[in-house]
Amino acid sequence: MKIMKFGGTSVGRPERMQHIAAMVTKETEPAIIVLSALSGTTNALVEIGEHLSHGDKAAAKKNIDQLETHYHDFISQLVTKPEASEKAKAIVAEHFEFLNIILRISFSEALSKDILAQGELLSTKLFSCYLEEQNIDHVLLPALEFMTIDSNDEPQIGSIKVKLSQLLQKNSDKKLFITQGYICKNARGEVDNLKRGGSDYTASLIAAAIGASVCEIWTDIDGMHNNDPRIVNRTVPVEQLSFDEAAELAYFGAKILHPASIWPAQTYKVPVKLLNTMQPDAKGTLITEKAGSVGVKAVAAKDNIIAIRVKSSRMLLAYGFLRKIFEVFEKYRTPIDMITTSEVAVSLTIDTDASLNDILKELEPFGTVEVDKDQTIISVVGNEISRTESIIKKLFGSIMNVPVRMVSYGGSPHNISLLIPAEYKKQILQQLNKGMFNL
């Protein structure tokens, strides 16, 4: 059994959805197809939720109507036979009726999750409707019946495995399964989700739970590139990455893969392939346990980073100082990305300002606190790079004229990270492309 996940742009137009149907029916191996919402839908649903949370029902209603029109246009091109058209219209009507009912009840956090779930429910049901019209045998597996997270928002692999296996067993004569990415049930039994971009995570969790032969992530680019193609002119796909390398790249800014989606595949040893829907024959990127060759594979950039420096002579020869500082971040559930320390100061970075003021207030008693906003983390990733002298030389040789605020080196042998002011991002990515990749 293989997993094939298609992102929003891959299902975002009727002809693309039809193209995917043609692709998946060519498969000889049984497959579970995981779909995102049509591109733009989740953003629209987020907006609807925000309007409602501010009590602006008129604005929410306007967005709902706009989205409904979009879906009517979509299905009118997706299906043509009268029976399928009727069915597609009924699906759209059902979900927009739900959104219109929500307009009338009082808003809550749980309700906003219900709103967000409509995107994936719609995309999968409409896809199923098209498959039916084409007489393609398949089963729609409701993710809400097997995808669960616990009270810490962690997926419950054990129970996912049991429930999903039961569903598959019931349909053991079938070869093609469709399910929703992103959505799940939480510990309170409410509809919830795996956070933005979470469909990749769904795919990897399912792949892990059933021991899939491969987890294919189909997007609109031919794999993970060596540099950010939106910023740098010449970039090339990386053919092979280890899970460790891919995790660093995904976490530090390569937008193609949700960072949490690495661990399930890695733990359960399922290879991951990043492939391009528009160019299905392109090699893409294969991610496995294997480290591959020594050398720099790629650079990635993560924006909106805040650097915090705590300076204190009390740190000198003291123990327990770092623990107390870290406890502040733990209290406000704020992950730390980079850390560097000297004997009298510690610098660290976070990627959210949600609790920044509280954190700063609690750090004050420890010493002088300085904050730099609008920073970018540049991560250079590759097997054993921080143990390879020639690479380090090349790296620092190619970042001339960029003011580096922090360097994180040696934490992992596969990553060297630099913190720079955001306005130097383009320049440093270009310089690294030339210096490290000769591109």
Which is nearer to ligand ASP, 37 or 429 (by Cβ)?
37
Burial 124-154 (b: 16+ CB within 10 A, else e): bbbbbbbbbbeeeebbbbebbebbbbeeeee
Choose the contact partner of 42 out of Mg ion, ligand ASP, none; CB within 5 to 8 A by kind: ligand ASP
Choose the contact partner of 182 out of ligand ASP, Mg ion, none; CB within 5 to 8 A by kind: ligand ASP
Count of other CB atoms within 10 angstroms of residue 13: 15
Residue of 5, 7, 226, 247 interacting with Mg ion (CB under 5 A) = 7
Q: 347: left (phi > 0), else alpha (psi -120 to 50), else beta?
A: beta
Which is nearer to ligand ASP, 342 or 352 (by Cβ)?
352
Indicate whether 155 belongs to the interface with ligand ASP (CB under 6 A): no
x/- map, 349-388, Mg ion, by CB under 5 A: ----------------------------------------
What is the rounded distance in angstroms from the CA atom of residue 262 to the CA atom of residue 272? 9
Burial class, 246, CB count within 10 angstroms (exposed 0-12 / middle 13-18 / buried 19+)? buried
What is the rounded distance in angstroms from the CA atom of residue 298 to the CA atom of residue 127? 35
Indicate whether 12 belongs to the interface with ligand ASP (CB under 6 A): no
Which is nearer to Mg ion, 279 or 313 (by Cβ)?
279
User: Which tokens belong to 36?
Assistant: 């995102």
Which is nearer to ligand ASP, 122 or 378 (by Cβ)?
122
Stretch that binds Mg ion, among 60-68, 75-83, 94-102, 194-202 (CB under 5 A): 194-202
**Residue 179 in 3-state DSSP?**
strand
Which is nearer to ligand ASP, 122 or 429 (by Cβ)?
122
End-to-end CA distance of the chain: 39
What is the rounded distance in angstroms from the CA atom of residue 292 to the CA atom of residue 283? 16
Helix (H) or strand (E) holding 317: none
Which is nearer to ligand ASP, 114 or 362 (by Cβ)?
114
Residue of 14, 49, 155, 181 interacting with ligand ASP (CB under 6 A) = 181
x/- map, 286-325, ligand ASP, by CB under 6 A: ----------------------------------------
Q: In residues, how long is the chain?
A: 439
Cα 234 to its chain centre, rounded Å, is: 24
Size of the site for Mg ion (CB under 5 A): 2
Indicate whether 37 belongs to the interface with ligand ASP (CB under 6 A): yes
Q: By C-alpha distance, which of 201, 183, 8 is closest to 113?
A: 183
What is the rounded distance in angstroms from the CA atom of residue 400 to the CA atom of residue 403? 8
Indicate whether 182 belongs to the interface with ligand ASP (CB under 6 A): yes
* Shortest spacing between CB 36 and Mg ion, in angstroms: 6
Burial class, 316, CB count within 10 angstroms (exposed 0-12 / middle 13-18 / buried 19+)? exposed
Indicate whether 253 belongs to the interface with ligand ASP (CB under 6 A): no
Residue 33 β-bridge partners: 4, 178
Which is nearer to ligand ASP, 42 or 148 (by Cβ)?
42
User: Which tokens belong to 349?
Assistant: 């970075």
Helix (H) or strand (E) holding 332: none
User: Which tokens belong to 43?
Assistant: 């953003």
* Shortest spacing between CB 203 and Mg ion, in angstroms: 10
Residue of 54, 81, 196, 255 interacting with ligand ASP (CB under 6 A) = 196
Burial class, 160, CB count within 10 angstroms (exposed 0-12 / middle 13-18 / buried 19+)? buried
* Shortest spacing between CB 360 and Mg ion, in angstroms: 33
* Shortest spacing between CB 90 and ligand ASP, in angstroms: 23
Which is nearer to ligand ASP, 195 or 269 (by Cβ)?
195
Indicate whether 198 belongs to the interface with ligand ASP (CB under 6 A): yes
Size of the site for ligand ASP (CB under 6 A): 12
Choose the contact partner of 119 out of ligand ASP, Mg ion, none; CB within 5 to 8 A by kind: ligand ASP
Indicate whether 36 belongs to the interface with ligand ASP (CB under 6 A): yes
Indicate whether 197 belongs to the interface with Mg ion (CB under 5 A): yes
DSSP label at residue 38: P
State the residues that interact with ligand ASP by CB under 6 A.
7-8, 36-37, 42, 119, 181-182, 196-199
State the residues that interact with Mg ion by CB under 5 A.
7, 197
